[in-house]
Amino acid sequence: MADRTVEVYRVQELESVLDSLYGTSVEGATERYANLINDFKNKYGVAPEFIGRSPGRVNIVGEHIDYEGYSVLPMAIRQDTIVAIGRASDLNVHVATLAPGLTEEEFTIDAERIGVALHTWVDYVKAAYIGVCKHLQRNSSTGLNLLIEGQVPQGSGLSSSAALVCATALAILGLLGETVLQAEVAQFTAECEKFVGTESGGMDQAISIMGELGKAKLVHFNPIRTEDAPLPKGASFVIANSLAVSKKAEGAARQYNMRVVECRLAAAVLGVKLGLEPDDVRAAQSKMLAGPKGSVTGAEAEVVKKYLDKEKYTQAELEQLLGVELEKMFEGNNNQLDELWPWCSGFNLRDRALHVYSEAARVVDFKAICDSEAKQDDEPKKLDKLATLMKQSHASCRYEYDCSCEELNHLVEASINAGALGSRLTGAGWGGCTVSLVPEGKVESFIAEVKQKYYMAKLEAKKLSQKDFKEDGKGGWEPVVGWKNVIFASPPGSGGAILDLTKFAS
Ligand code: GLA
């Protein structure tokens, strides 16, 4: 579906709207929204006019291939960011958050004058504002008051940044009275992350905006559109946070952007070796994107191994092969140019390309299995096949894409030992969460066992930060943020929405 507009709810009473947004996980939502509205009034002296909300996501399969143009298969989760907005009396955007310890900020409504560089959370708000202005080709004509509350844990690989950017953009669009297509918002919010320094693809924003209650989605790019991926019955997806923090816009950004660069280079070298004009780097890239034969098959792995025969390529070797200076090739893109600094000891093109091709094929296979008509007694077989793809995906992320870490590998191992059929890292990696496919009836025992086999075992071995845990009053330990925020089953949640509060008498 590419042509749906973002849902705008004209709120007269909160309950029914929140029921549609959260379905069976609505508990606590009314109080949360009422608190946001009240806190906004206390802070700015007037009621908010709109709320933008957008969720985090968990990627089930298809890691690090969205920026290559390949389709991915994520679902939105229940945890989201909500942003209340109203008009300000001056020409600034005032931003405040309900999260403890985060400072308030303000910036001008003149998008041209906003600098985004520091990697504080407000940069994502600024990026969203700039994105909206660029998309509408105008600034807001009034100042804005914003109050933000977010439940997607940061640095967990569940896309807290996309939830913040998308919810902010939706709040602003609501206030400006703009009717927008979901795909348009998904597209421009994906560009917003680039202002903050990460060359990410469009998966997080697409599913945050286009997610649907009860449905995982196959997301296609160029242009962004989605198909439903019916998840088989009898299985739950359990998300577990390794508690190793993966901050895409900080440490992991370097690694992330490096992978983007390596993939572009791999595509370019393959293109040249497959007989494209050596200086036509762009064409070489699209040749890889489509797959050498226009589709993704096992044959690509052979092509990759044959033509990308070195373990690592130096800048000089690549420039000779491609007949172009890399600085020229990446001109105009500072996030990617940064990765060419002398500290870089070489580019691992073969392994990265092997991951991209095999992962893209796994997404196609996963969707085909989801779609296949299965008789009731075939469902377990379906689950096994999906689980195998998830395991393969983790191995490929670990060994070929090198985006895992010790904690994630232990957590995946502990999850399989605790009864998961399949388990893998989810999101950018280098920390953050895993997603495990667990038979429905076993979720509780699975979670109980992972608590012991991963969290408690690691805590005892002093391999997890003691600061993340507190005594549970029963002689044991629990995460400071509570177990339900660290390991939980997640049915697919709904996507971004705008709540119009102008007729709401609170
Ligand atoms: C991050 C990016 C996404 C995607 C994933 C890895 O979440 O924002 O675009 O590349 O990493 O699959």
pLDDT digits (tens, 9 = 90+) for 180-199: 999 999 999 999 988 887 78
Ligand 1 pocket: which of 191, 204, 250, 402 to mutate (most atoms within 8 A of CB): 204
Which three-class secondary structure state does DSSP give residue 350?
Answer: helix
Specify the DSSP class assigned to residue 503.
Answer: T
**How many alpha carbons lie under 13 Å from residue 176 in its C-beta half-sphere?**
23
Starting at the earlier edge strand, list the strands of the sheet with 92-97: 7-10, 497-500, 50-61, 73-87, 144-150, 92-97, 105-108
Mean pLDDT of 268-282: 68
- Ligand 1 binding pocket includes 66 (Cβ within 6 Å): yes
Residue 154: band (very low, low, confident or very high) from pLDDT cuts 50, 70, 90: confident
Amino acid identity, position 217: K
**CA 4 to centroid of ligand 1, rounded, Å:** 24
pLDDT tens per residue across span 8-52: 999 999 999 999 999 998 999 999 999 999 999 999 999 999 999
Query: Are 321 and 389 within 8 A, CB to CB?
Result: no
Q: Alpha carbon 330 to chain centroid distance?
A: 25
pLDDT tens per residue across span 59-113: 999 999 998 888 999 999 999 999 999 999 999 999 999 988 778 999 999 999 9
Q: What confidence score (pLDDT) does residue 296 get?
A: 40
* Chain position carrying tokens 């580019």: 347
- Ligand 1 binding pocket includes 203 (Cβ within 6 Å): yes
Sign of CA dihedral 208, 237, 121, 342: negative
- Ligand 1 binding pocket includes 263 (Cβ within 6 Å): no
Query: Are 468 and 480 within 8 A, CB to CB?
Result: yes
Strands 433-439 and 422-425: antiparallel
Q: Catalytic pick from 66, 123, 204, 500?
A: 204
- Ligand 1 binding pocket includes 70 (Cβ within 6 Å): no
Task: Express as a percent the part of the chain with pLDDT over 70.
Answer: 91
Give residues with Cβ within 8 angstroms of 424, minimum separation 6.
Answer: 61, 63, 390, 391, 393, 394, 397, 412, 434, 435, 436
**Dihedral of the CA atoms 5, 3, 73, 426 (nearest 10)?**
-40
Q: What confidence score (pLDDT) does residue 431 get?
A: 92
**CA 145 to centroid of ligand 1, rounded, Å:** 30
Q: Write down how long the chain is.
A: 506
- Check for a shared fold between 7-229+492-500 and 256-353: no
Q: Hey, how many other C-beta atoms are within 10 angstroms of the C-beta on 484?
A: 9
| Residue extents of the structural domains in the chain | 7-229+492-500, 256-353
- Ligand 1 binding pocket includes 63 (Cβ within 6 Å): yes
Of the candidates 434, 482, 464, the one whose C-alpha atom is nearest the C-alpha of residue 157 is: 434
Q: Return d(Cα 449, Cα 461) in angstroms, integer.
A: 17
Give residues with Cβ within 8 angstroms of 162, minimum separation 6.
Answer: 54, 56, 57, 189, 193, 204, 205, 208
Of the candidates 183, 118, 126, 124, the one whose C-alpha atom is nearest the C-alpha of residue 152 is: 124
Residue 178: band (very low, low, confident or very high) from pLDDT cuts 50, 70, 90: very high
Mean pLDDT of 277-305: 55
Ligand 1: nearest atom to the Cα of 202: 9
Give residues with Cβ within 8 angstroms of 272, minimum separation 6.
Answer: 278, 284, 321, 322, 323
pLDDT tens per residue across span 361-408: 899 999 999 999 767 668 889 999 999 999 999 999 999 999 999 999
Ligand 1 pocket: which of 60, 72, 203 to mutate (most atoms within 8 A of CB): 203
Mean pLDDT of the residues in the chain: 90
Q: Return d(Cα 131, Cα 189) in angstroms, integer.
A: 6
Query: Are 57 and 74 within 8 A, CB to CB?
Result: yes
Residue 343: band (very low, low, confident or very high) from pLDDT cuts 50, 70, 90: low
- Clarify whether 280 is annotated catalytic: no
In this prediction the pTM is 0.93
Interior angle at CA 23, CA 489 and CA 35, nearest 5: 95
**CA 165 to centroid of ligand 1, rounded, Å:** 15
Of the candidates 159, 128, 149, 126, the one whose C-alpha atom is nearest the C-alpha of residue 55 is: 159
pLDDT tens per residue across span 421-448: 999 999 999 999 999 999 999 999 999 9
DSSP 52-88: EEEEEEEEEE-TT-GGGT--BEEEEEEEEEEEEEEE-
CATH for 256-353, options being 2.60.40.1260, 3.40.50.2300, 2.60.120.10, 1.20.1440.340: 1.20.1440.340
Residue 273: band (very low, low, confident or very high) from pLDDT cuts 50, 70, 90: confident
Q: Whose CA is nearest to atom 10 of ligand 1?
A: 64
Q: What confidence score (pLDDT) does residue 249 get?
A: 47
**CA 157 to centroid of ligand 1, rounded, Å:** 9
pLDDT tens per residue across span 219-244: 999 899 999 999 988 889 999 999 99
Please give the CATH topology (third level) of the domain spanning 7-229+492-500.
Ribosomal Protein S5; domain 2 (3.30.230)
